[in-house]
Amino acid sequence: MALPSLNEPIAAIATPPGKGAVGIVRLSGVGALEVAAKVWRGKDPRKLEGGRFTYGTIVDARGEVLDEALMLVFRAPHSYTGQDAVELQTHGSPAVLRQVLQALLEAGARLAQPGEFTLRAYLNGRMDLAQAEAVLALVESESDAARRQALRGLARSLSQQIEGMAERLYDLLAHIQAWLDYPEEGVEPAEIQTTVSEVLAEVERLLATAPAGRIAHKGARLALVGAPNAGKSSLLNALLGYERAIVTPIPGTTRDYLEAPLEIAGVPITAVDTAGVRQTDDPVERSGVERALKIAQEADLVLYLVDAAEPPPTPPDLPWERALKVATKADLPPAWEDAEFIRVSSQTGFGLEALRKAIHDKLIGQASEGEIWISNERHTQALYEARQHLLEALTAPQDLAGLSVQAALDALNQILGKDVSEEVIARVFRNFCVGK
């Protein structure tokens, strides 16, 4: 798969489709300022210094005025792409933006492909591949946790950690090579073991954050499951803070499942209220129960609710390693007690904070807010690969350990985008929107 040419001027609408107060059209490449000058009535952009802006009028090839606009000029290499670049801020009308883009294309620019501005930034060395992916993650971030993590990636926190590990492996390789050349100089076998084990521990630490990273980025599904009348719908409403689900004293109120979005400690969650699980001959209720159990199996986390004021039912088959046990109706006199259960009352709000915290901890695990979370599938794969080769290096005969160390190093460098194939690069940028 060939990457597009790097220099010709490209243009795209950078703001989302639809009406807005302001719309932005971007232009970048060698000759971008010449293209901009052709559609501009006002101060000549070629005479503007980088980082300056000017007001003027955008015209098409026939001289028709398209809009009044603000033009921002960036000069290579001090721009996002590293090239001469222009941003036109127009009124945010789809008709205006379309015409302005058309005028730029007629003036010599080519329509940008998805992510092509960021691709140029990467190819021009303005950012590494992990940073480019962080740009995408930031644009896509829908929760605070995802935003924070993406910003860390953009600030090269992950890149620096990977570089640190890579550097240690480079040093080790140099020592192994010296030993192969001059066996009497000798690498201490202990040095291989120590360095590889330490880097391995760091790789495993990063991999352990992958579930948290995935959930921060994509969100989690939380299933509320339990017997009829356990208080599932009431708890859903209490967590949401509004009456989303119907609550009645009649067992079997919820027949189908229902979903509602909520956020717990910055993590986006889809809560799913389900039908009460019991043996039943009613075909409608029975499909509801089947659905409930299926939803529980597919959820990232299950809340298993049991009414604390009644004798407990036989628990259904649930993925217990992904479940929290919740005793409901804590405001009533208890019929049983069990320290494994988190006690809550949807009526008084008792225990809800503790429940939220338990949900957060269970989903995010031991990954702490302050560290880097791996949320990108490509990074996860590369780390698994590095881990595999480091494990090999630990057990390989000393003269072969270098090969495994080299392979681990290559896997880590993939994350930064060093020596990656065009195929990989194309795949990364395919997910971007046009104009980014």
Ligand X SMILES: Nc1nc2c(ncn2[C@@H]2O[C@H](COP(=O)(O)OP(=O)(O)OP(=O)(O)O)[C@@H](O)[C@H]2O)c(=O)[nH]1
Chain centroid to Cα 260, Å, comes to 21
Q: Which of 229, 233, 376, 404 binds Mg ion (CB under 5 A)?
A: 233
What are the backbone angles phi and psi of residue 159, rounded to the nearest 5°?
-55, -45
C-beta of 232: minimal distance to Mg ion in Å?
5
Q: How many residues bind ligand X (CB under 6 A)?
A: 24
Q: Which stretch binds Mg ion (CB under 5 A): 16-24, 248-256, 277-285, 330-338?
A: 248-256
The DSSP H or E segment spanning 311 is none
Amino acid at 353: E
126 is in an annotated binding site: yes
- Alpha-helical (H) ranges within 228-301 are 232-240, 283-298
Chain centroid to Cα 194, Å, comes to 33
Q: Which stretch binds ligand X (CB under 6 A): 113-121, 185-193, 344-352, 356-364?
A: 344-352
CA distance 91 to 185: 71
251 is in an annotated binding site: yes
Looking at the Cβ atoms of 233 and 346, the one nearer to Mg ion is: 233
- Alpha-helical (H) ranges within 12-143 are 32-38, 94-106, 116-123, 129-140
What are the backbone angles phi and psi of residue 3, rounded to the nearest 5°?
-85, 150
45 is in an annotated binding site: no
102 touching ligand X, by CB under 6 A: no
C-beta of 354: minimal distance to Mg ion in Å?
22
Give the tokens for residue 189. Answer: 């076998």
Crossing angle for the helix pair 210-218 and 144-154, nearest 10 degrees?
A: 120
Looking at the Cβ atoms of 132 and 355, the one nearer to Mg ion is: 355
Say whether 86 sits in a helix, a strand or coil: strand
Looking at the Cβ atoms of 68 and 331, the one nearer to ligand X is: 331
Looking at the Cβ atoms of 226 and 351, the one nearer to Mg ion is: 226
Give the tokens for residue 156. Answer: 């090269």
Query: Between 302 and 331, how does the x/- string for binding to ligand X read (CB under 6 A)?
Result: --------------------------xx-x
4 is in an annotated binding site: no
Looking at the Cβ atoms of 4 and 315, the one nearer to ligand X is: 315
Nearest to 239 by CA among 142, 139, 324, 154: 324
User: Count of residues for the chain?
Assistant: 436
274 is in an annotated binding site: yes
> Is the preceding omega at residue 77 within 30 degrees of 0, hence cis?
yes
347 touching ligand X, by CB under 6 A: yes
Which 227-266 residues touch ligand X, going by CB under 6 A? 228-234, 247-249, 251-254
C-beta of 310: minimal distance to ligand X in Å?
10
| DSSP 8-class letter at 114 | B
Query: Between 191 and 230, how does the x/- string for binding to Mg ion read (CB under 5 A)?
Result: ----------------------------------------
Looking at the Cβ atoms of 18 and 249, the one nearer to ligand X is: 249
> Vertex 305, ends 304 and 311: CA angle to 5°?
120
Q: Which of 15, 81, 118, 346 binds ligand X (CB under 6 A)?
A: 346
Nearest to 196 by CA among 169, 174, 226: 169
CA distance 58 to 37: 10
227 is in an annotated binding site: no
Looking at the Cβ atoms of 214 and 232, the one nearer to Mg ion is: 232
C-beta of 333: minimal distance to ligand X in Å?
10
332 binds, among ligand X, Mg ion, none (CB under 5 to 8 A by kind): ligand X
175 touching ligand X, by CB under 6 A: no
Q: Which of 81, 254, 328, 346 binds Mg ion (CB under 5 A)?
A: 254
Q: Which of 54, 124, 253, 280 binds Mg ion (CB under 5 A)?
A: 253
Rg (CA), the chain: 29
Q: How many residues bind Mg ion (CB under 5 A)?
A: 4
Measure the CA dihedral 345/351/353/358, to 10°: -110
CA distances from 211 to 146, 271, 367, 373 (A): 13, 18, 9, 9
Return the residue matching tokens 């904070």. 353
CA distance 401 to 420: 23
C-beta of 272: minimal distance to ligand X in Å?
12
Residues 6+ apart with CB under 8 A from 201: none
Query: Between 188 and 227, how does the x/- string for binding to ligand X read (CB under 6 A)?
Result: --------------------------------------x-
Looking at the Cβ atoms of 346 and 404, the one nearer to ligand X is: 346
Binding site for Mg ion (CB under 5 A): 232-233, 253-254
Binding site for ligand X (CB under 6 A): 226, 228-234, 247-249, 251-254, 275-276, 328-329, 331-332, 345-347
Residue ranges for the known binding site for GTP are 229-234, 248-254, 273-276
Residue ranges for the known binding site for K(+) are 229, 248, 250, 253
